[in-house]
Amino acid sequence: QVQVVESGGGSVQAGGSLRLSCVVSGFTHNHYCMGWFRQAPGKEHEAVAAVDMDSRQAYGDSMEGRFTISRDTTKNTLFLQMNNLRANDTAMYFCAADHCFSAFGFLRLPRTNGFWGRGTQVTVSS
C-alpha cells in the first residue's frame, strides 16, 4: 500500500521561506513521478512542481523562480523549497506520487488519480 506523508508547513510572513518535505512508501520501484500541488480556499487545485525518476523537473505557471523542487530517490523523499513567499501562496499543499511519462505531464495529474497525502498548510501573512 502506497502512503504519502507531507510535513514542513506553517505560518510565515511575506518574504519568508519554508521547506516542505514528502515521504513516499510502498512503491516496489522508483519509476514514478512526485509532485506538489496546492489549493487555496475558493480556488482551483493548482500544480506547483513535479519531478520524474531521473530528477527532471517541471513547474506550474508562474511557479519557477521562487519555488524549487528536488527529490532524494534513495530516501523516497520530495522537497519543495519556497522563497520570497507571498500572501497569495497561502494554501494547503499536497504531495502526490504516481507512475508517469514525464514530469511535465504529471503536472496535469487530477485529484482522482495517483496517491496523495493529506496536505500541509502554508499560511503567509502580509
pLDDT in tens, 67-94: 999 999 888 999 999 999 999 999 999 9
pLDDT digits over 114-123, tens only? 999 999 999 9
Output the nine-digit C-alpha cell for 46: 493548482
Cα atoms in the 13 Å half-sphere on the side-chain side of 115 = 19
Q: What is the pLDDT of residue 75?
A: 81
**Over pLDDT 90: what percentage of the chain?**
89
Beta carbons of 24 and 79 less than 8 angstroms apart? no
